[in-house]
Amino acid sequence: MTVHAPSGRNPSPHWWQRPALVAVLAALLIVVVAFLPALWQMVRGVAAADLHAARAAPWEADVTAGGAVRALGLRIPGSTLHDAQTLWGEQLFVAVMVPRAGPPSLEATVENARPGGIQGRVLLTANPSAADLRRWMQHPAKDELVGPTTRRITLDAGSLAEAMRSPINAIGFIPATQLEDDVVRQRFGAPDEILDGTEGIRHWLYPSRGLALMLDPHGRELLQFVPPAQFAARLRQPLVLALKAGGQAPAASSPQ
């Protein structure tokens, strides 16, 4: 066995045996501790902002200086289905709805949302290209009849990933509890126009807010938001035509 003679060098001291290094680390620790409260407030503020966006009550909707409408934590134009998934996660269900009469549409729903503590159903429509819609419909994960005249096509994984990039162009909300007229006036103010439908249904229109509100004394209310510049073409005109024909209004239509 070979025995090595000591080299004569002293072993390097551990870091805690170096006074200068210990002093630097202590100073850094003091700085970090001093900034922890501010850092915590920043993190908590971001989390609170995200939480508020995800739970913004319907009457907190507003319109930006550029004419976009912000409602239920989303913005149109500007938000995509991916943004909605960020808010509601796996609760968001996306499918292509195919009516017997009319073009197919890409829609998303959240059955048990609670924006602003108000329980209800969120309804979103998106605006992909017609070519993408046709392509996604060719290889469905599921194709089922959900009404006398409507099919629902569930997308496969690849198509769904593409669909999540689609821009949202209408936001709807159906409250779980009925809204009385005085509550609506308190929350949204007086409407610019009221249109009477059948069976006591009334449509309160707020074009400057991009909001059409259907009040049904025998059922659930429906709130629909679109950008104010599109309000007449996508909400009021289809509503007036439907009422003249003796029916009820369709959901917000996609721009042509």
Residue at 4 is within a domain: no
Q: Are residues 93 and 70 in the same domain?
A: yes
Q: Which two tokens stand for residue 244?
A: 């003249």
Q: Could you tell me which residues come within 8 angstroms of residue 59 by beta carbon, excluding any fewer than 6 positions away?
A: 116, 187, 188
CB 114 within 8 A of CB 153: no
| 36-91 pLDDT per residue, tens | 444 434 444 333 344 444 458 889 999 999 999 999 999 999 999 999 999 999 99
Q: Are residues 127 and 50 in the same domain?
A: no
Q: What is the pLDDT of residue 222?
A: 95
Note the pTM of the prediction, 2 decimals.
0.75
Q: State which residues form the domain around 41.
A: 15-54
Name the domain count of the chain.
2
Q: Are residues 50 and 62 in the same domain?
A: no
What's the helix, strand, coil split of the chain in %, to 5? Answer: 40, 30, 35
Q: Are residues 83 and 198 in the same domain?
A: yes
CB 129 within 8 A of CB 177: no
d(CA 256, CA 253): 9
Q: Are residues 219 and 117 in the same domain?
A: yes
Q: Are residues 84 and 44 in the same domain?
A: no
Name 99's bridge partners. 150
CB 87 within 8 A of CB 74: yes
Residue at 250 is within a domain: no
